[in-house]
């Protein structure tokens, strides 16, 4: 079972003294004990009685570090110039703290099973937590009624999602990115924005998703000549990006377009489509509407 270290990746070895020690060798030895490759652990701080290692990978199989304190200390002890003492110990915040667990084989197996169960429960909870963000100054100023958010919320709740309504996002790349990143950190598995996908310079939701996931799928709904009228972009796109377990989706603002997109989105969630397929199907149904609309003009 791979555990995400959740950015708590430092190990402190306390009460250790060094004499002319090669720090890269030291880091590689710790990496070896944790089942990692050379270069995946580095020394980030050395004090007179203390050394700090940083694990540079985000996920490690739990059996690689559970109860490994003694093994790490023994490996360090074997390096020329390293002195350990009776009371030398390792400390770490977060999940890596389990390095110091002192368990029998039976307890270790039991703990790994418990963690497995907890991990799949957490995963399931994350996947069923959604947050919906309205966007745009028209909503911030209360100029128009937000019909999209309650509609999206209702459809997702019918699918068993626990839905939170996010703060209104302003037409600003940094604000949108910050709100999305905050929601990702708070463990939402589905993040939906409505509005801000157009071709004006105030439209920034697709760009925000792309700045978090550079491999986001951002197909066009409609293309036109850049710089026509208010258009500073060459078309209207939607965006579907992923980060860890979470999926971010930017839908258009007009309510009739949200009504077209949501059944496709729900089908994609039920059938677990990947981001490319989901984005293409959403763009397809929306592009069709634009074609029909322009055909009637």
Report pLDDT digits (tens) over 153-197.
999 999 999 999 999 988 888 999 999 999 998 889 999 999 866
The confidence band for 100, taking pLDDT boundaries of 50, 70 and 90, is: low
In this prediction, residue 199 carries a pLDDT of 57
Q: Say if residue 271's pLDDT is above 70.
A: yes
Q: Say if residue 226's pLDDT is above 70.
A: no
- Between the two ends of the chain, the Cα-to-Cα distance in Å is 57
In this prediction, residue 297 carries a pLDDT of 44
pTM: 0.62
The confidence band for 90, taking pLDDT boundaries of 50, 70 and 90, is: confident
The confidence band for 61, taking pLDDT boundaries of 50, 70 and 90, is: confident
Per-residue pLDDT averaged across 230-255, rounded? 85
Report pLDDT digits (tens) over 50-60.
999 988 887 77
Report pLDDT digits (tens) over 192-222.
999 866 656 677 889 999 999 999 999 988 8
In this prediction, residue 225 carries a pLDDT of 67
The confidence band for 66, taking pLDDT boundaries of 50, 70 and 90, is: confident
The confidence band for 103, taking pLDDT boundaries of 50, 70 and 90, is: low
């Amino acid at each position: 079972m791979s555990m995400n270290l959740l950015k708590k990746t430092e190990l402190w070895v306390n009460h250790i003294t060094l004499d002319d020690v090669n720090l890269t060798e030291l880091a590689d030895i710790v990496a070896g004990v944790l089942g990692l490759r050379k270069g995946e652990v580095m020394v980030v701080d050395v004090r007179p009685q203390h050394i700090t290692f940083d694990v540079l990978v985000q996920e490690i199989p739990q059996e690689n570090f559970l109860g490994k304190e003694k093994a790490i200390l023994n490996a360090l002890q074997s390096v020329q110039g390293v002195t350990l003492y009776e009371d030398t110990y390792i400390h770490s915040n977060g999940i890596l703290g389990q390095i110091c667990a002192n368990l029998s084989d039976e307890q270790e197996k039991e703990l790994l099973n418990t963690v497995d169960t907890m991990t799949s429960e957490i995963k399931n909870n994350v996947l069923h937590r959604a947050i919906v963000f309205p966007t745009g100054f028209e909503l911030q100023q209360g100029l128009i009624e937000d019909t999209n958010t309650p509609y999206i919320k209702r459809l997702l709740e019918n699918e068993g999602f626990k839905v939170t309504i996010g703060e209104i996002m302003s037409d600003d790349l940094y604000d949108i990115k910050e709100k999305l990143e905050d929601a990702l950190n708070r463990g939402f598995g589905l993040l939906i924005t409505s509005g801000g996908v157009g071709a004006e310079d105030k439209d920034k939701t697709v760009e925000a998703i792309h700045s978090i996931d550079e491999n986001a799928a951002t197909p066009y709904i409609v293309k036109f000549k850049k710089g026509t009228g208010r258009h500073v972009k060459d078309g209207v796109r939607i965006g579907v990006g992923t980060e860890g377990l979470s999926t971010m989706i930017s839908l258009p603002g007009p309510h009739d377009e949200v009504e077209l997109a949501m059944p496709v989105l729900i089908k994609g969630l039920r059938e677990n489509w990947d981001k490319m397929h989901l984005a293409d199907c959403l763009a397809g149904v929306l592009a069709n509407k634009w074609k029909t609309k322009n055909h009637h003009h």
